[in-house]
Amino acid sequence: MATSLQKEAAAFQPIRERFQKNFMETEMKHIILFVLLCCGLLCFSGCGEKFPADFPKVYPLTVKVTDGDTPLSDVKISFLALGGGGFAVGGETNASGTTNPITAQGAFTASGIPAGEYVVTVQDVVKVDVGVPPEEIAKMSRSEQAELEKKRQELIKNFKKKVPDSLCQSGAVADRSPIRFTASEKKNELTIDVAEYKK
């Protein structure tokens, strides 16, 4: 004859089985969800744009531009590969007169420079301050904006250049720049003293 304890155990048996079944189903759902999430992350990480096969290998480059002992900020440096290559290399100096140029090919960029022979050009980055914040300019009338533009053009005209013209070559005559640089397959450094090129 079954005891009361056995009767209670028998009564709870269907409930226990149903609980175990629900627990296992929930666990399986969690496992499947985790696997799908991992697969999604792997797929996402592999779907990003990859550098093209012909993107050149680059090496670190630090450039410093001075005028004697004075570092020059707001100066644009461009490296023109003598052998071509379908890429551009350049940078703009900061307050300490230094820059770490980047290499660009299409929409892809990387910090550094490919090994090779280069002509180097140096130009002032013309920055003028008209003394009016952009948000205030947007509120001005057309005539007021026209007057402000005249002021800006006058400031540009009177901008005092820091870099001699001999280094500011561009376009078809860029190779007339007297600066040549050989980038190696290691850390590269270049110091340009514009004082050496002033007449």
pLDDT tens readout for residues 5-14:
455 545 545 5
Q: In terms of domains, do 23 and 99 share one?
A: no
H-helix segments, the chain? 4-46, 134-137, 142-157
Residue 22 resides in a domain: yes
Residue 99 resides in a domain: yes
- The backbone torsions φ and ψ at residue 130, rounded to the nearest 5 degrees and listed phi first, read -85, -5
Q: In terms of domains, do 22 and 109 share one?
A: no
Q: In terms of domains, do 164 and 71 share one?
A: yes
pLDDT value at residue 43: 46
Q: In terms of domains, do 22 and 69 share one?
A: no
Domain that holds residue 189: 61-197
pLDDT value at residue 59: 96
Among 135, 85, 94, 136, CA closest to 114: 85
Residue 111 resides in a domain: yes
Q: Which residue's structure tokens are 């993107």?
A: 55
Residue 26 resides in a domain: yes
CATH number of the CATH domain containing 95: 2.60.40
Residue 56 resides in a domain: no
pLDDT value at residue 37: 54
Residue 48 resides in a domain: no
Q: In terms of domains, do 3 and 75 share one?
A: no
Q: In terms of domains, do 35 and 109 share one?
A: no
Average confidence (pLDDT) over 41-69:
78
Give the chain's domain count. 2
Q: In terms of domains, do 121 and 65 share one?
A: yes
* pLDDT(91) > 70: yes
pLDDT value at residue 84: 80
pLDDT value at residue 78: 93
50's tokens: 């990859």
Q: In terms of domains, do 76 and 146 share one?
A: yes
**C-alpha separations of 68 from 83, 92, 162, 184 in Å:** 32, 19, 12, 26
Residue 82 resides in a domain: yes
pLDDT value at residue 45: 42
Q: In terms of domains, do 94 and 18 share one?
A: no
Average confidence (pLDDT) over 6-27:
51
By percentage, how much of the chain surpasses pLDDT 90? 47
Residue 54 resides in a domain: no
Interval 118-148: pLDDT, tens: 999 999 998 888 888 989 989 999 999 999 9
Among 195, 174, 166, 187, CA closest to 81: 174
Interval 96-109: pLDDT, tens: 999 999 999 988 99
Q: In terms of domains, do 184 and 111 share one?
A: yes
Contacts (Cβ under 8 Å, ≥6 apart) of 145:
137
**Across the chain, what does the average pLDDT equal?**
80
